[in-house]
Amino acid sequence: MKSFGKGFVVGVGATLGALAGCVYYFKKTVVDPIEEREAVLDEHRKRALRKSRSAHQG
């Protein structure tokens, strides 16, 4: 029985570790590039708005 308990705990730990690794990999390869692209587009939008306002000042 002791062997089963140790194996079960190791199996659960390995499964949780693999799941955490998959979530981390997904975040780094999918979510972060999308957020970076949104930040760049937001910066371009702000710049265009400032440029548009300054062009119509005079």
Taking only the tens place, the pLDDT of each residue in 23-49 is: 999 999 999 999 999 999 999 999 999
Residue 46 domain-assigned (yes or no): yes
Residue 8 domain-assigned (yes or no): no
**48-to-30, 34, 37 alpha-carbon distances in Å:** 27, 21, 17
- What domain range is 42 assigned to? 23-58
What does pTM read for this prediction?
Answer: 0.65
Residue 43 domain-assigned (yes or no): yes
Q: In the 8-state DSSP scheme, what is residue 28?
A: I
Residue 32 domain-assigned (yes or no): yes
What pLDDT, on a 0 to 100 scale, did the predictor assign at position 1?
A: 76
Does the pLDDT of residue 58 top 60, yes or no? no
Residue 56 domain-assigned (yes or no): yes
Does the pLDDT of residue 57 top 60, yes or no? yes
Domain count, the chain: 1
Residue 14 domain-assigned (yes or no): no
Residue 2 domain-assigned (yes or no): no
What pLDDT, on a 0 to 100 scale, did the predictor assign at position 55?
A: 80
